[in-house]
Amino acid sequence: MIDKIAGSLDFYQQALGLRHQRQQVLATNIANADTPNYKARDFHFAEELARAAGPDGNGNRGLALSTTSARHIEGGLQSSGAQNLLYRVPDQPSLDGNTVDMDRERVAFADNSVRYQAALSMAKSRIQGLKSAMQSE
Amino acid sequence: MSMFNIFDISGSALTAQAQRMNVSASNLANADSVAGPDGEPYRARQVMFETVDRNNTGIGGVRVSGVIEDNAPMRQEYRPGDPLADEAGYVTMPNVEPVHEMINMISASKSYQANVEVLNTSKQLMLKTLTLGES
C-alpha cells in the first residue's frame, strides 16, 4: 500500500535528483571558468531521466537484478548518479584549454533552476492530490 | 551525493577568486616597491587554479594550487640620481603590469559575482525543496 504511494512519487524524485545533479555540474562549470585546461561538462537530461525511470517510466529501474527465486532480494540501482557526463563542444576555443562558455553556462543554469522549480511544484501538487484523496470527508 | 555539495563548489570558487583578487591587489600596491624585505625589488605574483575532482566524477570546485612568481623581466628605469641606481644610472623596478592586474581584477570580480548568483539561486531552490509537502 505504502509502496504504491511511494511509487507514484518516484518519478518526481528521479527528476528532481537529476535536476539537482545537473545544477551541480553547471555550478562546477561556472566555478572553473578560470581554471586552465578545465573542460566544461554536461549531461543529456532527457536521456538520463529515461534511463533512471526505467522502461516502464515508473521508477522501476532498467538495471534491476534478475531474480530466479522468490526468496532472492531484489536489487536495483539506488544512487541516481548520472553516468554519462559529456563534454561540451566549444565554439570559441581559448588558448589555455578551458572550454567554459560563461554565457551558455549561465543560460543553462537559469533554465535548469526554473525547470527544477517546475518539477518541484508538480511534485507538490501530486502530494496535495494524494493528501486530499486520503481525507476522510 | 549530498544535497549541499553545490555550496561547497561555489564556495570554493569564491575563496579562489578572492585569493586571486588579493594577489592582484598586492601586485598593484607594490607596483613601485623597489626594495622588499629581502632587499630585492618586488616580483609580480600570479595564482594558479586547479579543479578539485572529487571521486573522479568530474564534478567539483576549484582551488588555488599555488602562487607563482612572474618570470617577466624586471622594468629598468633611468634615474641617475637615485641611491639605488647601478653604474649606468638604471634602477630595477618591479615587473608588475598595471594593465594586466586591472584586467585580472575585473575578471576575478565578474567570476565572483557569477558564483554568488549560483549560490543564491541554489539556496532558494534548496529552501523551496525543504517546504515540499507542506500545504
How confident is the model at residue A53, as a pLDDT? 74
Q: Which residue has the higher pLDDT, A40 or B59?
A: A40
**Range(s) of the domain holding residue A67:** 2-134
Per-residue pLDDT of chain A (137 residues), as tens digits, is: 778 888 888 889 889 989 999 999 999 999 999 999 999 999 989 888 888 776 655 444 445 566 778 787 766 554 545 567 889 998 888 899 999 999 999 999 999 999 999 999 999 999 999 889 888 87
How confident is the model at residue A80, as a pLDDT? 47
CA distance A25 to chain B (A): 6
Using a CB-CB distance cutoff of 8 angstroms, which residues of chain B are in contact with residue A34? 17, 20, 49, 62, 107-108, 111
How do residues B25-57 score in pLDDT, each as one tens digit? 999 999 988 887 888 889 999 999 999 877 677
**Inter-chain touch A117–B125, beta carbons under 8 Å:** yes
Q: How would you write chain A as a 3-class SS string?
A: CHHHHHHHHHHHHHHHHHHHHHHHHHHHHHHCCCCCCCCCEECCHHHHHHHHHCCCCCCCCCCCCCCCCCCCCCCCCCCCCCCCCEECCCCCCCCCCCCCCHHHHHHHHHHHHHHHHHHHHHHHHHHHHHHHHCCCC
Cell numbers that stand for B110 in this block: 565578474
How do residues A88-97 score in pLDDT, each as one tens digit? 998 888 899 9
Nearest CA in chain A to B47: A35
Q: Which residue has the higher pLDDT, B135 or A67?
A: A67
Largest CA distance in chain A: 68
Is ipTM over 0.90? no
Nearest CA in chain A to B126: A20
How do residues B84-97 score in pLDDT, each as one tens digit? 888 899 999 999 99
Confidence category of residue B100, pLDDT binned at 50, 70, 90: very high
How confident is the model at residue A76, as a pLDDT? 57
Domain ranges for chain B: 1-133
How confident is the model at residue B2, as a pLDDT? 66
- How many distinct structural domains can be found in chain A? 1
Using a CB-CB distance cutoff of 8 angstroms, which residues of chain A are in contact with residue B107? 34
Size of interface A-B (CB pairs under 8 A): 91
Q: Is pLDDT above 80 for B24?
A: yes
- Residue B12's Cα: distance from chain center in Å? 13
How confident is the model at residue B57, as a pLDDT? 74
Cell numbers that stand for B115 in this block: 558564483
**Inter-chain touch A23–B13, beta carbons under 8 Å:** no
